[in-house]
Structures are given as C-alpha cells and as structure tokens.
A and B are shown apart, each in its own frame.
Chain A
C-alpha cells in the first residue's frame, strides 16, 4: 500500500514540475501548449546522455538545457516574431514528437543503470518539487518581481508604462517554463520509468497543461491537483489493487483522461467562471505589440 502511495507521489512530481513551469509561463501571459514536446525532448536527450555517459547528473543537465532552449525558441516565435502562441506551441510539440522518435529509436529499451536512491520510499525530486512549489508561490505573490511578472500577464501595456520590461520578463518566464518541462521529462525517463519507447509520454504533458487551467494559476492548488492526478494515474495502471475485474486494463487507462475532461468542463461552466474565473491572466495568449 505504501508502495502504491509512494509511486503516486512520484507520478505527481512529474505533473508538478511540468505544470509549475507552464504556470509561471502563463502568469506572464504566454501560453505554451507544446510542453509535451519539450518533455519528450528532455526525456529523450536526458536518457541518451545518461545511457552514454553512465552519469545521471549529465542527463539532467542536458534535459534542463534543451528545455531552456526550446522555451527560448517558443519565446522567439511568440514574443519577438509575434506568431500565434498556439501555432508555435503546436510546432514545438510536433517537433518534439517527430525528432525524438528518430533520435531516440536506437536507444529503445531500459536505461540499465542503478536506480536513483529514494528518500523514505519517494524520489528526491518529490521534495524538490514541494520546495519549488512553495518558492514559486512566495515569489509570485509576495515579492515585487512576482507582482511584475503577474502584471505583465494581466496588462502588458500598463506594465510597460510603469517601467517593466515586458519582453524580458516574458522571455525569462518561457525559458523557466521550458526548463521545468525538460526537467519533468527527465524525471520521467531517468527515474519514474527508465525505459525508452516510441512516443512514451502518452499525454503526461497535456494533462499537466490541463492541471494549470484547474489550478487558478496558483502553485499551491496546482500541487494539490498533481497529487490527485498522480494517484489517479497510478490507479489506472494498477486497477487490480482496488477494483479487480471491473474493466479491461486498457479501459482503465482512459480513466485519468475522462476525469480530466470532466474537470475541464466543470471549470468552464458559467457558474464556475463567474465565481472563480478572475484568476486567469487577462493577457494570456495575446501577443504584445508596443
């Protein structure tokens, strides 16, 4: 039982890390729908780097770097060139999915290294995730930098007038967002399930994206959502633990997605929007032109 809970916490870590990056990204007004692509890149290149060098640290460093670069690329397209953010995000997702399929294929199979040690049965990344959640909550809501970041996402022209460099703030946010997605991918491929396979993420990135919408753009709620979905995901993988024989194991895999859709619908209802909708960054997805 504890093993199941620990495994759920490990799964939730991946949602937390990817979602946190996207949350900061969106707080600055930039939507990146391509985080699954960045995660695939971080996971694949991190996996290859670790497999080749036998060193976990190098793998994580590579994942952070590629994540940051892809975040920067999204920034370049959507901030500097003013391309539709959805188009750019889709581009990054398909680039990630397409290229990593080719790059990773020769490395198909298990990592074959000693597992990363756990702390109390849970990966050290879980604790790191908790620290990062608290830290980003503090920075977003209790520091002047956080206020600047949020104001850029709410009303960039007003922020600019009050002396904030909108472009630089947004670039910072997308780069951070990319790094976190790359990191989340690496945690998946180097710790959670250290086996490379064709298009192995199967929706982790998209669920993380949905979690950001659920979170009211608040890291603490995001963390709660991640815990719930980590549990749900683990349950869908091991239904025999609780409800044996109810559905085939394949149908169980649809459950996290069905529940995500139900929650998406709930938060999209008028009732919910009028009550809680104000949290959404006003300028989300809108290119800023001086």
Chain B
C-alpha cells in the first residue's frame, strides 16, 4: 500500500523484544475496552462513566480491592495452568475441570476428618489445611496428567480432550454436592457442606495466604523456564517437537509433566476459590460460573506471551475488570454476564492482534525512479 512517498511493508518478525510485546498487548487491551464501549452505549450508559466506576471500585474501594485480589489469585493460577503446557506448545483448556477436581480433593480431606458434620468441628488447621492444599494440588495435577498421558501416549487432540474432561468433572461435582451426594450440604440447597470455622484459610491483611502460593509459583516458574534444563527442554519441545526429539527429549515425558504441573496450578485455583476466599468456604451451587471464569487464564496467558511474571499485572487487571464489571452491572442495572461479555471481547481482539505479534509493518520510503 502506498501513502504519498512511503510504502507500507509487511515483514515477518523473527524476534519480539519484551517491550514491544508489552506495547502491543497494552494496545490490544485498550482496543478491546474501546470496542466494549459499544455494549455500554447500547445500554444507554456513558462508557467513560462506566469505566470510571469499574476501575474505581476494583482498585480503590476497600471491599472492591479485596475482591479484586481474590480474583487475581484465582486468575493467576488459572493462567499458569495454561502457560505451562503452552510453553511446550500444548493447549490446556481443561483448567475448569482440573480446578473442580482440585476443589473436590480438598473437600474430601475435610470429609475424611469428619468436618462435614458441623461448622464448629474442632479440627486442627495446622494438620488439615496443608493436607487440603496438597490434595487440591494433586487432584488437579492428576486430572491434568490424565490429559497429558493420553496426549503423550496416543497424541490425542488435547483441545477436544481437555474440554471433554471439563464436562466430565462438571457433572462429577454435581453428583458429589447435589441430591444426596456425599458432600451435600445437610440443609440441601444443592451446594457442598460448609468448611468448619477452624479451617477458614488464614488471612494476611484480609487476603488469603494463597496469594503467597500464586506469587511464589510465578517466581519459581520463571526460574524453571529460564534457568533450568527442564525448562529448556519444555521450551525446545514447544518450538519444534521433531528437533527436540532429535536432541533426545522424550515427548511423552514432556506432555505428562506439563499437564501434571498445569493441572496442579488449576487445582490450587480450585482450593483458593472454594476453600480460601472469605465468605465462600464451600463449593457453591453456581460453581460452573467460577469454572468458566478460569478461561480468563487462556487470555492472560496469550497476552503475557506465556511469561509467568508478565502474567501478574495482566491477571491483576483482568481480575479488577471482572470484579468492577460485576459491580457496575448491579449499580447501573445492566444484565447479568457483563464480565463474561468482556472476556469474549478481550479474547477476540487479542486474536486479531496476534497478527501484530508475528508481523511487523514498516514505512519504507519509495525510491524515486528517474
């Protein structure tokens, strides 16, 4: 395309420096928010007012900030569930199923200790809480490893596979908490029994301790991917499976490992949301909403280009947007699902922006022919 004496030239990128990636990602988010204004306009609401409400509730309101941080922890863990397999070139969209299994495993520990009977059951948190976290980690990990095993062993399409596993886990949760299931709340209501008060997760300035896990894993993962042989092997496999195989990296081991770890992260997210967020402390009747919310992890992963540290600000922003979205939905009398609509618009904008991650457009001065 020619503009005056200049010509637009399209080039494939070979490398993408971090600051450019950050710039493109920020721009993508801005464009998505701009597009999303249409939804507000259609509801006869001034987008500027709406965004001001969203951001001020999510990041300055005392209650809003705590909700944002809780959601941030959840999203960050869900993002890791996506990132770890993605580094090896594999798609994990099974975070919702893995987090259900993680939550079920954590509650199974409480059940085994007899914590179902009463909200005031005197259980020793020093013993039971670590076991719950461990169970959630392992539960999610095993659910992930199942996908990893089938991917590594038979090369089953992991997208369809993890999605199908999500639906299986969804119905298993329903079985466990509804209509006479073992974890059913004694009062019915289609939700799980409530955790005994003694097992409410310790808070650090009002924030569950799971934030330490989430941030800790960000650092650990960054270290593993950048500095260890294992991280190198995973990345090498992601870049080119045939080349990696030639270098002696075993695909089966990689697939199993990344899905195991990814699933473990999702399992922790499940523990966090149902076991550690103040005011929840049970597997809610609407657990499906939280499972679906974990798909934000896909977007966070794509936007942060699978970098665990870069995922932190992205997850924080999206956590805030989804909490703020929920808030203005109530305040400005909009329909349910504003945060999901935002999820959709962000995702599709990001898809369009993939083009800019891999292509460079430059202006080239046209040589005058004389």
Contacts and interface: CB of A to CB of B under 8 A. Distances in A.
B237 to A, nearest CB: 17
Contacts of B155: 268
16 contacts: A87-B302, A94-B347, A97-B340, A97-B343, A101-B341, A102-B341, A103-B341, A105-B337, A199-B288, A199-B292, A202-B167, A206-B167, A210-B160, A248-B175, A248-B179, A264-B164
B340 A98 contact: yes
Contacts of B174: 250, 253
A233 B161 CA distance: 18
Contact of A95 (B337, B345, B358): B345
A172 interface: no
Contacts of B175: 248, 250-251
A69 interface: no
B167 A94 contact: no
Interface in B314-370: 335-338, 340-345, 347-348, 350-352, 354-355, 358-359
Contacts of A88: 351, 354
Contacts of B344: 94-99
Interface of B: 39, 91, 93, 150, 154-157, 159-161, 163-165, 167-168, 170-172, 174-175, 178-181, 288-289, 292, 295, 298-299, 302, 335-338, 340-345, 347-348, 350-352, 354-355, 358-359
Interface stretch (A4-12, A58-66, A75-83): A75-83
A91 B336 contact: no
Chain B binding surface SS class? helix
Contacts, number: 147
B314 to A, nearest CB: 16
Interface in A217-265: 248-251, 253-254, 257-258, 260-261, 264-265
Given A95-B345, A105-B335, A254-B171, 5 more contacts: A77-B354, A97-B340, A98-B341, A209-B160, A253-B174
Given A94-B347, A102-B39, A253-B171, A264 B159 contact: no
Contact of B298 (A94, A99, A209, A261): A94
Contact of B160 (A96, A97, A213): A213
A265 B344 CA distance: 31
B348 A101 contact: no
A87 B348 CA distance: 9
A264 B160 contact: yes
B156 A101 contact: no
Interface of A: 33, 77, 81-84, 86-88, 90-92, 94-99, 101-103, 105-106, 198-199, 202-203, 206-207, 209-210, 213, 248-251, 253-254, 257-258, 260-261, 264-265, 268-269
A210 B350 CA distance: 26
A55 B172 CA distance: 39
Contacts of A248: 175, 179-181
Contacts of B91: 86, 90
Contact of B172 (A99, A206, A250): A250
Secondary structure type dominating chain A contacts: helix
Most buried by A among B39, B91, B295, B354: B354
Contacts of A91: 347-348, 350-351
B172 A94 contact: no
Contacts of B288: 198-199
Given A102-B341, A248-B181, A265-B150, A257 B168 contact: yes
Nearest to B166: A203
A268 B154 contact: yes
A206 B163 contact: yes
B341 A203 contact: no
A224 B289 CA distance: 34
Contact of A203 (B39, B150, B164, B179): B164
B161 A261 contact: yes
A269 B161 CA distance: 15
A96 B295 CA distance: 13
B298 to A, nearest CB: 7
B341 A264 contact: no
Contacts of B302: 87
Contacts of A99: 340-341, 344-345
A262 to B, nearest CB: 10
B157 A213 contact: yes
A202 B163 CA distance: 10
B164 A86 contact: no
Contacts of A86: 91, 159
Nearest to A92: B348
What are the 4 A-B residue pairs with the smallest beta carbon separation, nearest first?
A98-B344, A91-B351, A102-B341, A101-B337
A95 to B, nearest CB: 4
Contacts of A84: 354
Contact of B164 (A77, A198, A210): A210
B160 A269 contact: no
A254 B100 CA distance: 14
Contacts of B93: 90
Nearest to A101: B337
A233 to B, nearest CB: 12
A261 B154 CA distance: 12
Contacts of A210: 160, 164
B264 to A, nearest CB: 21
A90 B296 CA distance: 12
A66 B167 CA distance: 26
Nearest to B295: A94
B32 to A, nearest CB: 11
